[in-house]
Amino acid sequence: MRTFIVENLMRSSFFFLFISVSLNGFSGIQNDSPIAIRPGGWEIVFHTGDVDIPVRMVASPEGTFSIVNDDEIISIQSVQWKNDSIHAKLPLFQTFLDCRFTSDSTFCGTFTDHSRNSNYEIPVTGKYTGSKEEVLFPVTKKFDVTFSPDNPDDLYKAVGIFSSDYHSGRLIGTFLTESGDYRYLEGKQMGNSFYLSCFDGSHLFYFSGITDGDSIKNGMFYSGKHWSEPWIAKADDKAELRDPDSLTKIRPDSGPFRFSALNLSRDTINFENDSFCGKVTIVQIFGSWCPNCSDESKFFKELYDQYGSAGLQIIPVAFERSLDWEQRKRAVSEQWKELGIPYPAFLAVYPGKQNPEKTFPMFEQISSFPTCIIIDKHGTVRKIHTGFYGPGTGVYYYNYTDRLNMFVAQLLKEL
């Protein structure tokens, strides 16, 4: 078995995405189901048509469920039971699980993503495994990664950070790209082949490949049932991406920073120089469908809690996939409520993830969700940061959030 050597791995245990099921007054799933669900380890498999994507799950003796990967806990507060079946809205996103327990150790159903369209469904099955989490003693390595290497139009670079345990074959890691990260991944290594997967309630990722010395070949990446592409990699302890603060540029002679957006009452709000005068402002370009954006929103909430009273304002502008106003409004307002964010979100006048330049024409190109624009007390754009490295990237996340915290504090002190 080939062992990955990974340097600077940001975590030593698997990502645990706990999905705790609220039973609307019931103390456990056994109370409202004719089937007593077996507690312990389960495996959920998403059947995309191209590949079967496995995700670990745990059922507790109290009847709650958890999808397991590292240290993040996401509770599902909206679950409807009917006999042996559940209809569950997954937190933060417009996604749903509908499952029927066919026995105490099996279930089948569908995953639906309404942010794409109501027909975006993936069949799921689940089975009881009884497995428990194993202690991980990883060896780690860093890789220079190229996605779509044979297609110049789609080619992009990434940094892969993987860790494997020789004895168990367990594998964890993540990919950093110039638009964000592919979150917490886990899987297995079997001889010289391996896979990594994750499900964050919205995105469903699966990566496979074959190790060949210090290289990875025949790699394939699947995102749900709608996207796939090849990838290759080579071990490189010095692999890095371009500076995220250098990727989005202001057009020459674009004039003062200004834009318009819609509040949730559908009124047009014009943000001009007076909107920024005397305050430090972060304009967040995001989408409620984007997990990297929700990671950024959580951090910005912490930043606002720390500096809001000192003059920091945050103006989030959402670019939703749907063209329907009520659906866009519902997606953003529900996410904001779940995250407990105290400042308002706005919707782009021109909806759709392809249209941020129509709202912000002063930029040459906006290539990533999220992108944040930092403006000083005089209305001058001081920094534009493309993408966001979430907590799954470990030291990259902490380094960036620490630097941004210090930069905001510096701007607040300026006259």
Between 17 and 294, the more confident residue is 294
Rounded CA-CA distance 187/274 in Å is 51
Task: Report the pLDDT averaged over residues 155-168.
Answer: 90
The yes-or-no verdict on residue 12 having pLDDT over 60 is: no
3-state secondary structure of 376: coil
Give the distance from CA 209 to its chain's centroid. 22
Rounded CA-CA distance 298/302 in Å is 7
List the domain boundaries for the chain. 17-128, 139-235, 244-413
Q: Which strand ranges, in their side-by-side order, compose the sheet holding 106-113?
A: 65-67, 52-59, 40-47, 121-128, 106-113, 95-103, 85-89, 78-82
pLDDT tens digits along 203-224: 899 999 999 999 999 999 999 9
Please tell me the predicted confidence (pLDDT) of residue 132: 66
Q: Are 337 and 329 in contact (CB under 8 A)?
A: no
The yes-or-no verdict on residue 4 having pLDDT over 60 is: no
* 139-235 shares the fold of 17-128: yes
Rounded CA-CA distance 137/170 in Å is 9
Rounded CA-CA distance 198/193 in Å is 18
Select the CATH number that applies to the domain covering 17-128 from these four: 3.10.28, 2.40.128, 1.10.3470, 2.10.260: 2.40.128
The yes-or-no verdict on residue 85 having pLDDT over 60 is: yes
Task: Report the pLDDT averaged over residues 325-350.
Answer: 96
pLDDT band at 45, cuts 50/70/90?
A: very high
Please tell me the predicted confidence (pLDDT) of residue 310: 97
| The amino acid at 189 | Q
The yes-or-no verdict on residue 386 having pLDDT over 70 is: yes
Mean of the per-residue pLDDT values of the chain: 87
pLDDT tens digits along 277-336: 999 999 999 999 999 999 999 999 999 999 999 999 999 999 999 889 999 999 999 999
Lookup: tokens for 174:
């993540």
Domain 139-235, what architecture?
A: Beta Barrel (2.40)
For the 244-413 domain, the top CATH level (class) is alpha beta
- What phi, psi does 293 have (nearest 5°)? -65, -40
